[in-house]
Amino acid sequence: MPDEDIDVFVVCAAGAISPGEAKAFSLWRLSETGEAKPFPIVIIQREPGAFFGYVNVCRHEGTWLNIGSGKFLIEDGCFLQCGRHGAKFEIDTGICVEGACLAQSLEPVALALIDGDVCVCGVALVEDDLWRGFDDLEETMDIMIH
């Protein structure tokens, strides 16, 4: 963690997510009371250098978007889709344009590219020496905090 006051955390190298690809990260954030809470996110590189991040929770029933298939993107990477009932979301806005949660938006995660790394900004994440102690992390998700 570069600076405790700024809350900027490196999640992965920018090169770890190819253009047109989305990846899940199972992180932990600190609540206002200091409790560690699961913070599953998805980061998409829509085109080279254009990264978008959202909390990986569907607005309809609150499941992971990639439940079931493990996939996030449909229509050649043009939209995010929830694997449960098929809600379709714009990548750049997170707004549902088709499906059960029409017009609702995924919760955005502020990202920054710093020195070639994709960083989450403005969220107090649990540092890696703490979250490595949790034993119920989702095994299929990629987890990297430096």
Among 11, 41, 87, 111, binds ligand FES (CB under 6 A): 87
Query: Of the two residues 102 and 114, which places its CB atom closer to ligand FES in the complex?
Result: 102
Minimum CB separation of residue 101 from ligand FES in Å reads 6
Piece of the chain touching ligand FES by CB under 6 A; list 3-11, 82-90, 124-132, 136-144:
82-90
Residues from 22 through 51 that contact ligand FES (CB under 6 A): none
42-52: buried (b, 16+ CB within 10 Å) or exposed (e) per residue?
bbbbbeeeebb
Should residue 95 be labelled a site residue for ligand FES when binding is judged by CB under 6 A?
A: no
Should residue 100 be labelled a site residue for ligand FES when binding is judged by CB under 6 A?
A: yes
Minimum CB separation of residue 61 from ligand FES in Å reads 4
Q: Distance (Å, rounded) from C-alpha 10 to C-alpha 117?
A: 6
What tokens appear for 85 in the block?
A: 């009932």
Q: How far is CA 144 from the centre of its chain?
A: 12
Q: Distance (Å, rounded) from C-alpha 63 to C-alpha 60?
A: 8
How many residues contact ligand FES, by CB under 6 A? 10
Should residue 104 be labelled a site residue for ligand FES when binding is judged by CB under 6 A?
A: no
Should residue 60 be labelled a site residue for ligand FES when binding is judged by CB under 6 A?
A: yes
The answer for residues whose C-beta is within 8 angstroms of residue 136's C-beta and 6 or more apart is none
Q: Distance (Å, rounded) from C-alpha 110 to C-alpha 136?
A: 26
Q: Which helix (H) or strand (E) holds 130?
A: helix 128-131
Q: Provide the binding-site residues for ligand FES, judged by CB under 6 A.
A: 58, 60-61, 63, 82, 84-85, 87, 99-100
